[in-house]
Amino acid sequence: MNQVMEELKELWSMALLWFNLEPIMISMGQDREITSMAATYCIYSLPDLLTNTMLQPLRVYLRSQGVTKPMMYCSLVAVIFHVPLNLGLMGLGVPGVAIASVMTNVNMVVLMVGYVWYFERRRGVGNELGAGKPNRAKLAARVALGCAFVIGIINVTWTVILRERWAGLFTNDRLVTGMVASVMPIMGLCELGNCPQTTGCGILRGTARPAVGARINLGSFYCVGTPVAVSLAFWLGVGFSGLWYGLLSAQVACAVSILYVVLMRTDWEGEALRAKKLTGVDMNGASCNQPQVEADEESKGFLASGNDHINNIL
C-alpha cells in the first residue's frame, strides 16, 4: 500500500510539472514557439503517465521471468496500429501525435496483460536457481547477455547507416537534421551499453539482488553521467553532443559495473543455495505423495556438496 501511495505521489508530481511546462521553460529562456509545441504535446500526453505506471512494471516483470519475445511481438502489433493512428490523427497536429502515442501505449498494456493472464511464463535465471541448477542459471545469464550484445550491435549499425536520413523523416529543418546526424552514432553506442546493462539488471533481479542494480544505476547516471554531460555541454563548449557523451559515459559505467558483478562476482552455487533458503523448496523436486523422479546430474552433485555448507555460505 505504501508503494502504491509513493507511485501516485510521483505520478501527480510529474503531471504537475508537465501541466506547467510552458511557463517553466520560458522562465529559463527557452524559445517560446518550441516551448509552446512541447507544452501542448505534454498536456495531451498526460494520460500516458497513467499508462506507463502499468506498462513499465509489466516490462520489468516479464524481463525478470526471462520473457522477451512476447514483448517484441506486442511491440510489433502496437507499432502496426500506431501507423494508421498517426495518419488518422495527423490533421490535429501536435495533439494528434501525442494522442496516437498514448493509444499505442494503451494497446501495449492490453496486449501484455493478456499475455500475462493467458500464457505461461518462461523459465529464467531465477527459475534455474530455484531448481537447484546453478550451471544452467549461469548459462542462461551468459546467453541472455550475448543476445543483448547482438541487439546492441544491430542498433549501432542502423544508427550509423541512417544517421543522415532519420531526422528527415520528421523535419526538413537543416539545423535539426544536422544535429541529429551528428549524435546518431553516439545514440547507437549508448544502446550498445544499454542492452547488456538492462539485461544484467534483469539477471540481478532474478538472483534476488535488485538493490545492487539500483545502486549501480544511481551511481552511473547521477555520479558519472550527469557531471560529464554538464561539463561537456556547458563548461567545455561541446554543446548538444556533450549531453549525449554524458549519457554514453553513464551507460559505459553502468554496463561495465553490472557485467563485472554478474560475470565475475556472482557465486552461482551460493545463489542457488540462497534461493533454496529463501523459497524453502526442496531442489530435488521430490513430492511426499508422488514417486521421486530421478534428479539430473547437476542437481544431485550440487545437493550433495552444497547442503552440508549452506549455513556457511549464507
So what's the pLDDT on residue 265? Answer: 86
With CA atoms as reference, report the closest residue to 273 among 264, 283, 265: 283
55's CB contacts (< 8 A; 6+ apart) are: 105, 108, 109, 112
Rounded CA gap, 102 and 89, in Å? 12
Give the max Cα distance, the chain.
75
State if pTM tops 0.85: no
C-alpha grid cell for residue 304? 550433495
Q: At what angle do helices 134-161 and 268-279 cross, to 10 degrees?
A: 110
C-alpha grid cell for residue 8? 501516485
So what's the pLDDT on residue 180? Answer: 86
Rounded CA gap, 15 and 67, in Å? 31
So what's the pLDDT on residue 156? Answer: 85
C-alpha grid cell for residue 305? 556438496
pLDDT in tens, the chain (314 residues): 455 566 667 777 778 887 888 888 888 888 888 888 888 888 888 888 878 777 777 777 777 766 777 777 777 888 877 777 777 777 788 888 888 888 888 888 877 776 666 454 545 566 666 666 777 778 878 887 887 888 788 888 888 888 887 777 677 888 888 888 888 889 889 888 888 888 888 888 778 788 888 899 999 999 999 999 999 988 888 888 899 999 999 999 999 999 999 888 888 888 778 777 776 644 444 444 444 444 455 554 554 455 454 444 44
Cβ-based burial of 291 (10 A; exposed 0-12, middle 13-18, buried ≥19): exposed
Rounded CA gap, 313 and 175, in Å? 59
Sequential DSSP letters for 289-306: SSPPPPPPHHHHHHHHHH
So what's the pLDDT on residue 301? Answer: 52
Residues 5-26, buried b or exposed e (16+ Cβ, 10 A)? eeeeeeeeeebeebeebbeebe
Question: What dihedral do alpha carbons 254, 258, 259, 262 form, nearest 10°?
Answer: 180
- The 3 state secondary structure assigned to 185-251 is HHHHHHHHHHHHHHHHHHHHHHCCCHHHHHHHHHHHHHHHHHHHHHHHHHHCCCCHHHHHHHHHHHH
258's CB contacts (< 8 A; 6+ apart) are: 196, 197, 200, 201, 204, 213, 216
So what's the pLDDT on residue 276? Answer: 77
C-alpha neighbours within 13 Å on the C-beta side of residue 112: 27
